[in-house]
A and B are shown apart, each in its own frame.
Chain A
């Protein structure tokens, strides 16, 4: 039997009972639709989170005080942890692979400008912060490259703080009070938005040494490194580790490469997507039962036809293949409808909730359609086998 004839024969079989076939295919369609929609949303979330993380660049390394061990953070509490210092940052800058390094101190303080006052996040950083974090200046300039321990009292405002304190009036050159100390505003930043709850716009940037004094701290909270793309982050991380162990005597700090963080994050999100897709798969199972039922009914109804086919010289195996084919065609049609449903649905969700982006990947679409066909195949096995096992004389007798 030629392939196109085989398809025509099975499709005629499906078409002969339009409503019934439609409802059965719908069962599969809903299942596939759910799989596609859910994985699309999962993938979209995946892409969204990764984009959030990589907006600062991908060749970043963060160093935090304290060592994360399997027993948890044995950091701050244990006395033999040395503080991360501005000098640590300076020594890391000397490594050939390190393009830039930022000392980071963070805290909350009030900022006063004339009669306006606001509590906001204060970031103590270096001149290099705007480069490392890929953070553009809207007006004026960012902190100058002063000697780290003798930096001048300059402040750069996040876009929201600038707006709140100065509105449409000029901010550059104005003196503001931060935690009681006087700073001169030399620039304001472009809006960067939120990152995992941190609002970089509702913040003020001052030199790290000034922030240490302001918050009365010894230790930096973090050192961010930008390394060249020529060397792998693991190699660089190892060099960084050696330098710091040399300075501290032991490994009392934690190095996180962004590559590793993205790997872990990607793994978690990928698993989530698959889990959510599997959830949709359950409705596929229901669709499969529908096909099993309908194919059983079809085999019953068409017993006479099966007898005829046998009389015309069709062997048991070909009968089996014919009915399996019909189950697969039914499921595949449902699958296609489901793809439309899922892709349309995810497009619609994105339209309604732009913050929830969806991303339909062709890999999932193709596997979903194959999955539908497989469900049809499995659901068709029992009815098709029954058809193949019928005795031709018995089959011909039923009318």
Chain B
């Protein structure tokens, strides 16, 4: 359960204040599928960053699963990111020197899981995402669609309750994009809350709920 109230995010550019988010309030229940749309610069990424605890609002409050996360210390926020939130990025953000296997295993490794346990989980994930024969490949040996599948496998390997995807298909061709969207939707079917920023109206229409942002405000929520 995500609960935002009167969120403001202001950037100072020179002497000028840019209101990336102004008075944004919204609630997302567990298992929802939300598409955030809107013109460039309207604050979609800013909103996602705040939901993902990568950024702090200048004012307003944010509750995640009943915890007032906006008041937590940085290290505690990191802890919540680790266990509850999975990120999927437009540019994949895979570690180039690590294999697909190691990229997916990265969150498990960082949280201190033993090698044998990781082996089981990551192997299962590789199979589930159709990457069974790509385990030993490095990112530069994978197609865009495969890279994004590795990134999604990584985002879900810690079994988060929320997936935040910022234009996950923005860097993919049509068919790979649809494929990735279907994977994300499948995860949503399994109960994970999915919040996805997209420019693509076709993709946006697939979501049950669409939020339209304009100039840092929620213009429309349906």
- Given A311-B52, A311-B87, A312-B106, CB of A2 within 8 Å of CB of B112: yes
A210 is an interface residue with CB less than 8 A from chain B: no
- Say yes or no: A313 contacts B55, CB within 8 Å: no
3 closest A-B pairs by CB: A313-B82, A16-B97, A315-B78
Question: How far does the Cβ of B198 sit from chain A's closest Cβ, in whole Å?
Answer: 18
Nearest chain B residue, comparing its CB with the CB of A2: B112
Candidates B49, B52, B110; contact of A314 at CB < 8 Å:
B110
CB of B67 within 8 Å of the partner chain: no
Residue of chain B at shortest CB distance from A17: B97
Q: Beyond A1-B111, A313-B78, A396-B93, list 16 extra A-B contacts (CB 8 Å).
A: A2-B109, A4-B115, A16-B97, A304-B93, A305-B93, A308-B95, A311-B54, A311-B93, A312-B107, A312-B110, A313-B81, A313-B111, A314-B78, A314-B110, A393-B49, A393-B54
A sample of 23 inter-chain contacts (CB < 8 A) reads: A2-B109, A2-B112, A2-B114, A5-B109, A5-B112, A16-B96, A308-B93, A308-B95, A310-B54, A311-B52, A311-B54, A312-B106, A312-B110, A312-B154, A313-B81, A313-B85, A314-B110, A315-B74, A315-B79, A316-B75, A317-B75, A393-B49, A396-B93
* Number of inter-chain CB pairs below 8 Å: 75
Check if B6 is an interface residue, CB within 8 A of chain A: no
CB distance from A292 to the nearest CB of B (A): 22
Could you give, for residues 12-31 of chain A, a 1 whenever the CB lies within 8 Å of some chain B CB and a 0 otherwise? 11011000000000000000
Known interface pairs A2-B114, A396-B89; A305-B95 also in contact (CB < 8 Å): yes
Q: Give a binary string over A374-399; 1 marks a CB under 8 Å from any B CB, 0 the rest.
A: 00000000000000000111001001
The interface residues of chain B lying within 8 Å CB-to-CB of A12 are 97-98
CA distance A205 to B107 in the complex (A): 85
What is the interface of chain A mostly: helix, strand, loop, or mixed?
Answer: helix
CB contact between A311 and one of B81, B98, B111, B114 (< 8 Å): that residue: B81
Residues in A with CB closer than 8 Å to B158 are: 313
Chain B contact residues, CB within 8 Å of chain A: 49, 52, 54-55, 74-75, 78-83, 85, 87, 89, 91, 93, 95-98, 106-107, 109-112, 114-115, 154, 158
Residues of chain A contacted by B107 (CB below 8 angstroms): 312-313
- Verify A318–B97 contact, CB threshold 8 A: no
Q: How far is the CA of A311 from the CA of B49 in the complex (A)?
A: 10
Per the bound structure, the CA–CA distance linking A396 and B166 in Å amounts to: 12
- In chain A, residues 309-349, which have Cβ atoms closer than 8 Å to a Cβ of chain B? 309-318
Query: In the complex, A307 Cα to B95 Cα: how many Å?
Result: 11
Residues facing B in A1-56 (CB within 8 A) are 1-2, 4-5, 9, 12-13, 15-16
> B93–A392 contact, CB under 8 A?
no
- Residues of chain B with a CB closer than 8 A to A16's CB: 96-97
Q: Which residues of B contact A316 (CB under 8 A)?
A: 74-75, 78
Q: How many Å lie between the Cα of A4 and that of B107 in the bound state?
A: 15
Interface centre among A15, A311, A391 (most CB of B within 10 A): A311
Residue of A nearest to B83 (CB): A313
Residues of B contacting A391 with CB < 8 Å? 55
Q: Which residue of A lies closest to B80 (CB)?
A: A313
- Cα A2 to Cα B96 in complex, Å, equals 22
Which chain B residues border A317 with CB–CB below 8 Å?
75
